[in-house]
Amino acid sequence: MDKFDLSLTLNGKSETRRVALDARLLDVLRYDFGSPGTKEGCGEGECGACCVLLDGVLVNSCLVPAFQAAGRRIETVESTPPDLLQTLNATGTSQCGACTPGVVMSIRWLLQHPEIAESVGLRAFMSGNLCRCTGYDGIIAGLEQALQSNAKKAET
């Protein structure tokens, strides 16, 4: 199989790995760059389990060819600030955990775009992340709490 050297910035660190030319971003993150927190659910762009930030944009990494990440900045669930994780744990955002990495990345994106929370609504926004445990009450509670904490930080 043809390979190429893929260089990118992963969670703030410049990294290069030799990866398959036809690989998906999801797989190179998990198996080549040692970042297994990003999970595969459907593999078809429908469940949101594989969400990462690509140059600050929320994407389903199962749909992104790895070569499109060349020279770009990737953030995964591994770089989530501990205080946010603490907030989400405290509000029961995660049950079995299968959807959690994607949920956390969606929440991180929304925290950077709080105006979207107001215009779209939290439940509608989170509809791109499927939770089979039907744990949306916990997810929304975590998101509300995180938005409040961010707003408080912005005031100080």
Chain residues binding ligand FES by CB under 6 A are: 40-43, 45-50, 60, 62, 94-100, 131-133, 135
Alpha carbons 116 and 86: distance in angstroms, whole number: 23
Q: Which is nearer to ligand FES, 135 or 142 (CB)?
A: 135
Q: Are strands 3-10 and 73-75 parallel, antiparallel or unpaired?
A: parallel
Distance CA 119, CA 128 (A): 16
DSSP SS3 for 11: coil
Complex with ligand FES: residue 110 or 142, whichever CB lies closer: 142
Q: Which is nearer to ligand FES, 90 or 151 (CB)?
A: 90
- The CA-atom distances, in angstroms, between 98 and each of 49, 104, 135, 138 are 7, 11, 11, 14
Triad 99, 137, 154: Cα angle to 5°: 90
Shortest distance (Å) from residue 127 CB to ligand FES: 13
CB of 60 to ligand FES, least distance (A): 4
CB 92 to ligand FES: min, Å: 9
Nearer to ligand FES, 133 or 140 (CB): 133
Min CB(37)–ligand FES separation in Å: 13
- Quick check: 6 and 16 in contact, CB under 8 A? yes
